Structure 1
């Protein structure tokens, strides 16, 4: 049976990506994966690892071309927050750090509130607040 899950994303420049995500308040592992061309981004309370690999290394692992994020979305990474205000704050931090967002934060289904930002390499991050007390069963 599987033991862990981690995601791998191609980036043009690991140092710039680390600086970007650090400005958003994320942390990185200093153990395995912390090299000149890769970084282990830690996400959430369980420290899910999102490995950031510079494009040549990623291309070698994937044995495939890298998706052109300017033409499409290869994955939507969703993360949750503790409040609507934190959704807005994290999205604004992403913009201030050089990311993009043309998505207006909005309520969805009466129990979710979310926004979207695009990181330096075009990866889309869906930032959500979910009020589970309002969720219909």
Structure 2
């Protein structure tokens, strides 16, 4: 049905956001130009997800409304599957080292999930999860 799915994120400063997501280990999507108004990354290894970054004024132009104030509410929560609890903790550390904020430190939940979360430079929330389905109750 669909070839790809893209998330279009508003950002205040393309260069700072490109630096942040590069430090996170996201792969630059070279099919799209990196300019002062837009950039693109792939997320994931299996079925890759395309993340497009647009400067706030640019995305407001094609969305037809103002960018959400992420300091007052959550517009979306991105969840990324991790291979292990250690990878969750490593990604949280990368986010913090790159200038992000940890809102949920790594921890176990329900005996079969391990996760944590960070906030990027523009207030978008990201959730990292390792799920061991062999430990999941019926």
Q: Same fold (TM over 0.5)?
A: yes
User: Any stretches of 5+ residues in structure 2 without a counterpart?
Assistant: none
Task: State how many pairs are aligned.
Answer: 137
Q: In the alignment, which residue of structure 2 is the partner of 1:131?
A: 132
CA RMSD of aligned residues (A): 1.3
Q: Give, in angstroms, the shift of residue 107 of structure 1.
A: 1.1
Equivalents in 2 of 1:25, 1:9: separation in Å? 18
- Mapped contact 1:118–1:125 kept (Cα < 8 A): yes
Q: How does 1:63-74 map to 2 (within 5 A)?
A: 63-74=64-75
Helix, strand or coil for the counterpart of 1:31?
coil
Q: For residues 25 and 2 of structure 1, do their structure 2 counterparts lie closer, same or farther at Cα, with a shift above 3 Å needed?
A: closer
Equivalents in 2 of 1:58, 1:133: separation in Å? 42
Q: Give, in angstroms, the shift of residue 62 of structure 1.
A: 1.1
- Mapped contact 1:33–1:51 kept (Cα < 8 A): no
User: Any stretches of 5+ residues in structure 1 without a counterpart?
Assistant: none
Helix, strand or coil for the counterpart of 1:104?
strand
Helix, strand or coil for the counterpart of 2:101?
coil
Equivalents in 2 of 1:135, 1:57: separation in Å? 44
Helix, strand or coil for the counterpart of 1:102?
strand
Give 4+ residue runs of structure 1 displaced > 6 Å after superposition: none
Q: In the alignment, which residue of structure 1 is the partner of 2:55?
A: 54
With structure 2 as the length reference, what TM-score do the two structures score? 0.92
Q: Give, in angstroms, the shift of residue 85 of structure 1.
A: 0.6
